[in-house]
């Protein structure tokens, strides 16, 4: 495989996080990276400012796949309605909180399936945010399991409730992959350059190790968007020579 082929293969695993409320800034990032990454992730900052119509606006400048990361967590009916709206607007992937329980997870999966295999969004479950560590999980949230045990348990629940996959940090990829097998996608945020700033995230990792451990997609935000040359930063994350 040539360096360019290797870079292209790596890029197909990358979801760039557009962590901004500035639509023009988001447009600029999409134009720079649309030919180099698989998808773009948006969250509350863009959707609260511009509504779900922002998905169409981003698609117009080249973002073919949008990962809508709003982490739905509500009663089953409300989450089902939320997934329906996300699907209507063409979201490629959507997050829900696994802590919402089986009925909520089943409602999300069922609503997604109603749009058919070609048009439905992937539904992925969030269990323990990458900004949380063991101290917070145990001493503040009252969870007696270790982070890894809790994430494995909730990840199995998510897949058993027909979600398409889960979100986890680089630290939990191996045990979660061992627990769910090939049934579920693993989406991993918190990817950093070697020696890069972890910012507000506690559990971070590097791209190559995360993919080798079993991640399907990597979510990368500030390591790309905060870099003066995002394409060069992507190459550095991939460890592919120029």
Q: pTM for the complete prediction?
A: 0.93
pLDDT band at 205 (very low <50, low <70, confident <90, very high): confident
What pLDDT digit, counting tens, does each position of 151-168 carry? 999 999 999 999 999 999
Closest to 47 (Cα-Cα) out of 15, 82, 74, 9? 82
Q: Are 157 and 98 in contact (CB under 8 A)?
A: yes
Rounded-to-integer distance, Cα 116 and Cα 52, Å? 21
Rounded-to-integer distance, Cα 28 and Cα 41, Å? 14
User: pLDDT at residue 85 above 90?
Assistant: yes
Q: Which domains does the chain have, with CATH numbers?
A: 67-235 (3.20.20.70)
**3-state DSSP: the chain helix, strand, coil percent, rounded to 5?**
50, 15, 35
Residue 193: per-residue pLDDT: 64
Instruction: Give the burial string for 68-90 (b: 16+ CB within 10 Å, else e).
Output: bbbbbbeebeebbebbeebbebb
How far, in Å, are 39, 46, 60, 64 from residue 35 at the CA level? Answer: 10, 22, 14, 10
SS3 67: strand
User: pLDDT at residue 102 above 90?
Assistant: yes
Residue 55: per-residue pLDDT: 98
Which residues are identified as catalytic? 71
Residue keyed to tokens 């699907």:
87
Residue 166: per-residue pLDDT: 98
Distance of CA 19 to the CA centre of its chain: 12
Can you point out the beta strands (E) in 78-204?
A: 93-97, 122-126, 165-167, 185-188
Q: Are strands 66-72 and 217-220 parallel, antiparallel or unpaired?
A: unpaired
Q: Which two tokens stand for residue 45?
A: 């900052």
């Amino acid at each position: 495989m040539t360096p360019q082929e290797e870079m292209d293969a790596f890029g197909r695993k990358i979801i760039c996080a557009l962590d901004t409320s500035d639509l023009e800034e988001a447009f600029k990032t999409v134009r720079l990276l649309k030919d180099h990454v698989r998808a773009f992730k948006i969250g509350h900052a863009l959707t609260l400012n511009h509504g779900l119509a922002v998905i169409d606006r981003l698609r117009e400048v080249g973002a073919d796949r949008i990962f809508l990361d709003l982490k739905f967590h509500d009663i089953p009916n409300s989450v089902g309605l939320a997934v329906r709206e996300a699907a209507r607007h063409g979201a490629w992937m959507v997050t829900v909180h696994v802590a919402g329980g089986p009925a909520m997870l089943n409602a999300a999966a069922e609503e997604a399936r109603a749009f058919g295999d070609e048009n439905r969004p992937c539904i992925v479950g969030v269990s323990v945010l990458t900004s949380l560590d063991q101290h917070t999980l145990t001493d503040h949230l009252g969870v007696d399991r270790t982070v890894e045990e809790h994430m494995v348990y909730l990840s199995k629940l998510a897949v058993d409730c027909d979600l398409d996959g889960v979100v986890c940090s680089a630290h939990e990829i191996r045990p979660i992959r061992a627990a769910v097998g090939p049934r579920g996608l693993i989406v991993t945020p918190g990817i950093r350059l070697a020696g890069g700033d972890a910012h507000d995230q506690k559990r971070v990792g590097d791209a190559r190790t995360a993919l080798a451990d079993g991640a399907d997609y990597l979510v990368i935000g500030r390591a790309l968007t905060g870099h003066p040359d995002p394409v060069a930063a992507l190459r550095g994350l991939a460890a592919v020579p120029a």
